[in-house]
Structure 1
């Protein structure tokens, strides 16, 4: 679409391009990352040699940290582009309207508030309007691109007002008998239920009526951009550390010692000690990996924030090899001890008693629940001359199985 019109402050242009331009940029970034990591290894080894000789150089340490930050930036860019390419491929590189007439009516409603009654499938009588299926899906796709946790967890749409799972907690008994011995009654298995935290997340972007009247901007891209930023920010925090009060239960609250450690019928997410006071060690990471049962390691990965991965990047094994390694080809994530990594910005930093990293199968551990979809209320009255688009989405979340996950607890 032609973008001649100047976009007012607050409008965001969003474009997820899975074409050759992104693929070429991705290849360049991977090459730059591999070069930066080679420089990092050489400079860090030199730094360690200087320290052994008693000649610690502050400038050398600064140089190492600068390269370390550059690697973090390159890896973040690679992850971002790889996700956009995957999203474009998943959507077939384009969008097909499944309800074109309704989408057209919604577009008219978005610009001027005009709605044909025979096309109103929302709640116009209440002053609201339910988004078309395609807009709902587009906003959700954008949200997946920028919300790392949604990429990792299992996402399940639900049709009811709540969601409860039943768990078999055992109790079946058995015994040995002879051919003619009487068979007495044995124990019967019992069940326990588990609820999930629920809440409503919202965004309230605004535009002037004039820009909507004269618009040559991509209104769908603008709204998707506004919503994805706000929703991703709020959801990311909740899925990691939410307390369940009008929001999901965060995964960290189920770790041993956390607020929900006793909530799940299968127990808490087990914590593994980092091996050093207020620090991460190579031995601690190895212990973390081997504490997870083999049956859960097939799709296991590390998750931590940027600063924690910066600390892990300096660790070596007994043979002197770095535990962190960049992806060798485009589309492959960086690895720690051979397992893929994901950056979750809302994870805690490395500090005494903090859970600085998670390791396990996230899809088998955490469940995100989506209820209804995205709903938009067009409000031309509250903040004249702006038209506000009150956008809401009901979501829930919590740990549905703590066994495929382990947490790295930093020693006090």
Structure 2
């Protein structure tokens, strides 16, 4: 193709040279006009140049298309190679991590040590920070494999509702982050009367920010008999994942629900709005739940859900509307439709209060405005000496997290009257 383009370009160059020769000849002979014969020759040259230009453009487009296809193909192949390489690296890291859990860092071979180290560096590099470095390595422990992290998240969700309700935000480091917020739901424009000299209002947007830190949670010691640790057929990772999921899940869900915000995450109940109009001290009614729904601005109802504990749900399932219909309706799991209260999905959270005087029992709103910040991968350390006399190996997990509700108007909790 380049040879053909070169040939066409050379032909075009010769024709252009012949045209210029005709022009030069006319100019040297007292700037005369073309003769009829010269005009015909010049016009024929023009037609030849246009034809050559069309051929050149066609070949250039064809060449560009081929390059684009080749580049796209190479990109796809490169992505496949990268994915294969990443998959191999993740597999190597998972195997090395399992060996670390069973035998400790000192007994790993060089390839396993390298796999652990390379994963640490990749996570730290992705975070564009060395913040994790102080907590990693043979002394501090090792970041868990991504599959382990995903399984841990599933386990965490099983022990509380807030991870299902909130929006999970992963960050590479635990550096303090300010999240800007704005609330303009109570402000609206107005009409200016024709001919009026009234000046437009100047209500400012309700700007603010929420500051996210990173509180370190520990699973405390998880002891495992060495007979199980050394049994290659025993899924040691699954045991540790389940234990960490239970321990982290319970304390984190408690804090995400009713944390004070002082040296711990700020719980959604702590920061959300309150609805208490017509709510009795120890009774909940269908109208209470409907009024709670309508107390939340419609802007937040599109993605809204209810949340309540299991005992409160049992009471709500008995409630009927004014037409004698139950406000709780069973969904259809074959169609992916959830059970509902007043037509809205709900999530059970047993860290919410039971029905009692002054208690905040049922929440409603857009819980995706509750942001749960998780930092990087969880970390696990292995303790071999401490429990050696009991023929046990111990593990301790660490996670860093924080949580905040961005807008108190997005969620409200029904609060019962005082006794």
TM-score normalised over the length of structure 2? 0.65
Partners of 2:204 and 2:323 lie apart in 1 by 53
Shift of 1:169: 6.5
Partners of 2:142 and 2:332 lie apart in 1 by 48
The reply on whether 1:325 has 2:329 as its aligned counterpart is yes
Per-residue CA deviations over 1:157-215 (Å, capped at 9, x if unaligned) read: 12342222123477999997999x9x999787684332246422221322122321234
Partners of 1:329 and 1:119 lie apart in 2 by 43
Partners of 1:174 and 1:289 lie apart in 2 by 28
Which secondary structure does the structure 2 equivalent of 1:210 belong to? helix
Which secondary structure does the structure 1 equivalent of 2:276 belong to? strand
Tell me what 1:370 maps to.
374
Tell me what 2:413 maps to.
407
Contact (CA 8 Å) 1:197, 1:246: kept in 2 or not? no
Q: What's the C-alpha RMSD, in Å, of the aligned pairs?
A: 3.1
Per-residue CA deviations over 1:288-332 (Å, capped at 9, x if unaligned) read: 111122222222111100111111122111111111122244443
Shift of 1:378: 0.8
Partners of 1:298 and 1:243 lie apart in 2 by 28
2:116 paired residue among 120, 124, 130? 120
Tell me what 2:149 maps to.
136
Q: How many residues are matched?
A: 302
Shift of 1:287: 0.9
Over 3 Å counting, the alpha-carbon distance change for 1:97 and 1:310 in structure 2 is farther
The reply on whether 1:343 has 2:339 as its aligned counterpart is no
Per-residue CA deviations over 1:319-374 (Å, capped at 9, x if unaligned) read: 111111222444432211111121101000001111110011111x2110001221
Partners of 1:325 and 1:185 lie apart in 2 by 47
Which structure: larger Rg?
2
Superposed counterparts of 1:288-367, under 5 Å: 288-330=292-334, 331-363=336-368, 365-367=369-371
Tell me what 1:167 maps to.
181
Tell me what 2:99 maps to.
108
Tell me what 2:14 maps to.
none
Shift of 1:156: 0.3
Query: Structure 2 unaligned runs (5+)?
Result: 1-86, 121-135
2:217 paired residue among 201, 215, 220? 201
Contact (CA 8 Å) 2:181, 2:407: kept in 1 or not? no
Over 3 Å counting, the alpha-carbon distance change for 1:378 and 1:294 in structure 2 is same
Contact (CA 8 Å) 1:300, 1:360: kept in 2 or not? yes
The structure carrying a bigger helix percent of its residues is: 2
Contact (CA 8 Å) 2:228, 2:236: kept in 1 or not? no
Over 3 Å counting, the alpha-carbon distance change for 1:311 and 1:379 in structure 2 is same
1:224 paired residue among 241, 257, 261? 241
Contact (CA 8 Å) 1:172, 1:186: kept in 2 or not? no
Per-residue CA deviations over 1:24-45 (Å, capped at 9, x if unaligned) read: xxxxxxxxxxxxxxxxxxxxxx
Q: Which region of structure 1 is more displaced relative to structure 2, 341-350 or 140-149? A: 140-149
Contact (CA 8 Å) 2:267, 2:404: kept in 1 or not? yes
Contact (CA 8 Å) 1:304, 1:357: kept in 2 or not? yes
Contact (CA 8 Å) 2:308, 2:350: kept in 1 or not? yes
Partners of 1:338 and 1:411 lie apart in 2 by 26
Per-residue CA deviations over 1:262-310 (Å, capped at 9, x if unaligned) read: xxxxxxx132335323211122112111112222222211110011111
Contact (CA 8 Å) 2:183, 2:407: kept in 1 or not? no
Q: Which region of structure 1 is more displaced relative to structure 2, 307-316 or 122-131? A: 122-131
The reply on whether 1:147 has 2:160 as its aligned counterpart is yes
Contact (CA 8 Å) 1:304, 1:358: kept in 2 or not? yes
Superposed counterparts of 1:267-306, under 5 Å: 269-273=273-277, 275-306=279-310
Shift of 1:98: 5.3
Shift of 1:217: 1.3
Partners of 1:355 and 1:299 lie apart in 2 by 21
Over 3 Å counting, the alpha-carbon distance change for 1:154 and 1:278 in structure 2 is same
Q: Which region of structure 1 is more displaced relative to structure 2, 372-381 or 120-129? A: 120-129
Partners of 1:190 and 1:311 lie apart in 2 by 39
Contact (CA 8 Å) 2:170, 2:373: kept in 1 or not? yes
Partners of 2:281 and 2:227 lie apart in 1 by 59
